[in-house]
Amino acid sequence: MLVTSRLPQVGLAALGGARLIRVDLPDRQVARTMLERRLAHTDRVTGGNAESLDAIVELCGRLPLALAILGARLSARPRLSLASVVAELRDDAHRLAAFPGGRGVRDPRATFAWSYLQLSPDAARLFRLLSVALTPGITAEAATSLSAWEPRRTREALMELAEAALVTEDDHGWFTSHVLVKAYAEELFRETELPAERAAAVSRLLQHYLHSALHAQSELKSHFRIEPPLPPPDGVVAERQGSLDNAHGWFDRHRDALFEAVHVAAEGDHGVAPWRLALALPQYLESAGLLRDWEDVVRLALQAAREHGDAIGEAHLCRSLAGTGQSLTELQRFEEAVHASRQALDICRDLDQRTDEPVIRHLLARSLAGMGRVNEAIAEYTTAVRLGGVLAQGPLQVSALRDLSKLLLSTGDVAGARRAFDRAVELMGTFQDGGPEFLQADLEELAALLGQHR
């Protein structure tokens, strides 16, 4: 005897000796074949429709029931184009309208409703809230901030949703909804919740990713410093990674969600500035070699800052884009980096934010040096050192002197390189414990280079 159910029949297995088998979704090719068989008697399986057929398969999430319904619908309406069905499925707000019910047809909405109506109030509300998740999957920690509940209460609701087959938990603790299940949850959210509650849920989720990313960034020992945002609002519980390895792992797992968070923050007023989310990413993206991703994220946030007249955010983004190791300088696109640095300098002067100027001057010098404009680079390094002294930014002074020494050495000015090096060493001697370890290592390497030019 074969018994099928959306719910795990644990009782049958425990008391009746039944063997439970989970049937996964078919892969793309099998799902495509299923749809083609439904349409075999039509002219819609020709090569010219291949792209639309693939789109339908993916937009249905390869769900056999959905493919069967659409196959029947297309058969019943010979003049209905595949492109029209694809357009309906791409309408996130009305995706399930592509599956007509009635007249003996059990559409996906009715199937999902049967499971939803059996949920407890907590699980039902969390199900609706999950419709605003930024990626197909979400962790229990992010769901806790999304719901603004205690972690245990959130975890119990997630377990109930998993038992109801409305979400699936993978081996890494991510809870994923099928694309059509998520569309159903979104319908319910619009029908039962006020727009203000949806906005608040999105805001909590963005705040969760922002503050969790900032905690992870702090483990990476980022040298890019800006004034921290306000503490997260009530209900938001940011994750703390606790170590360098955990921070890298957290960024790896949440990279897509963080990218999407920048997009969502840029598209609406959710109480989280896109530039703050973007500037939580550079250290990780640089270490992972994802420099082009970094540039894309910064340009998106920069465009949003300009559209909203956020001059402070624009200044921070221009400064970062100019050349911190993870931007255009690393891509050797020096002219663009110089342009961005000069933009940042202009904005900082307009805002009277002089504390960023030494860093921007340093980055500008690096870009100019990369272009071979040595004299200009030397002038900018010198200015960065002077302003760093005025603003008590000792590590920045040492970094600029280090780079200045290397540049002078490359031009054959050994004496000038030694003077810059000696001044850097003198400054390091004023720091507690001899200064940052990375600068100590850089100066030791530079000393060895200078030793070859006695």
Residue 102: φ, ψ to 5°: 85, 170
**Would you state the pLDDT for residue 337?**
80
Residue 59 placed within a domain: yes
Q: Are 164 and 6 in contact (CB under 8 A)?
A: yes
> Is residue 249, in this structure, part of any structural domain at all?
yes
| 305 plus 275 within the same structural domain | yes
Report the C-alpha gap between 86 and 409 in whole angstroms.
Answer: 62
CATH of the domain at 82: 1.10.8
Tokens of 352: 């009277």
pLDDT tens series, the chain, 454 aa: 666 655 666 666 666 667 766 667 788 888 888 888 888 777 666 666 778 888 888 888 888 888 888 888 888 787 888 888 888 888 877 788 787 765 656 678 888 888 999 999 999 999 999 999 998 899 999 999 999 999 999 999 999 999 998 999 988 889 998 888 899 999 999 999 899 999 999 999 999 999 999 999 988 876 556 677 888 889 999 999 999 999 999 999 999 999 999 999 999 888 899 999 999 998 888 778 787 788 788 889 988 998 888 888 888 887 776 654 445 666 777 887 888 788 778 877 777 777 778 888 998 898 899 999 999 999 999 999 999 888 888 888 999 999 999 999 999 999 999 999 999 999 998 888 888 888 889 899 999 998 888 6
**pLDDT computed for residue 263 by the predictor:** 95
Instruction: Let me know whether 200 and 298 are in one domain.
Output: yes
307, 319 contact by CB (below 8 A): no
Buried/exposed code over 105-135 (b: 16+ C-beta within 10 A; e: otherwise)? eebbbebbeebbeebeebbbbbbbbbbbbbb
Alpha helices, H only, 25-120: 28-38, 50-59, 64-76, 82-90, 108-116
119 and 61 in a single domain? The answer is no
User: Which tokens sit at 338?
Assistant: 């110089």
Confidence (pTM)? 0.74
Examine the domain organization and report whether 274 and 173 are in the same domain.
no
- Residue 61 is classified by DSSP as T
Which pLDDT does position 17 carry in this prediction?
A: 67
Residue 316 within any structural domain of the chain? no
- Flag whether 160 is in a domain: yes
**Radius of gyration of the chain from its Cα atoms, rounded to whole angstroms:** 28
* Final residue of a structural domain among 283, 309, 335: 309
pLDDT of residue 437: 87
* Dist. CA 304–CA 331, nearest whole Å: 23
| Start-to-end Cα distance in the chain | 89
Structure tokens at 100: 């007509």
Q: According to the model, what pLDDT value does residue 326 have?
A: 42
Q: Identify the DSSP state of 257.
A: H
Domain residues for the domain of 61 are 24-94
Can you tell me whether residue 76 is helix, strand or coil?
helix
Among the listed residues 244, 252, 253, 305, the one whose alpha carbon sits nearest the alpha carbon of residue 278: 305
Question: Which stretch of DSSP H or E encloses residue 219?
Answer: helix 195-219
Q: For position 124, which CATH number holds?
A: 1.10.10.10
In a domain, 134, yes or no: yes
Q: Are residues 213 and 186 in the same domain?
A: no
Angstrom distance (rounded) from CA 353 to CA 232: 26
* 305 and 204 in a common domain: yes
379 is a domain residue? no
Handedness of CA 431, 434, 438, 443 (dihedral sign): positive
Q: What is the pLDDT of residues 316-357, one digit of tens each?
A: 887 776 654 445 666 777 887 888 788 778 877 777 777 778
% of the chain exceeding 90 in pLDDT? 39
- Side-chain half-sphere CA neighbours of 296 within 13 A: 9
What count of Cα atoms within 13 Å lies in the side-chain half-sphere of residue 406? 15
Number of domains in the chain: 3
SS3 labels along 311-367: HHHHHHHHHHHHHCCCCCCCCCCHHHHHHHHHHHHHHHHHHCCHHHHHHHHHHHHHH
Residue 119 and residue 58 in one domain = no
Same domain, residue pair 283 and 231? yes
From CA 293, how far away is CA 187, in angstroms rounded?
33
Q: Are residues 180 and 277 in the same domain?
A: no
* SS3 call for 277: helix
| Region for residue 26 given its phi and psi (left: phi exceeds 0; alpha: psi -120 to 50; beta: otherwise) | beta
Q: Residue 188: what pLDDT? A: 93
**Residue 325's pLDDT is what?**
41
Nearest to 35 by CA among 24, 21, 22, 49: 49
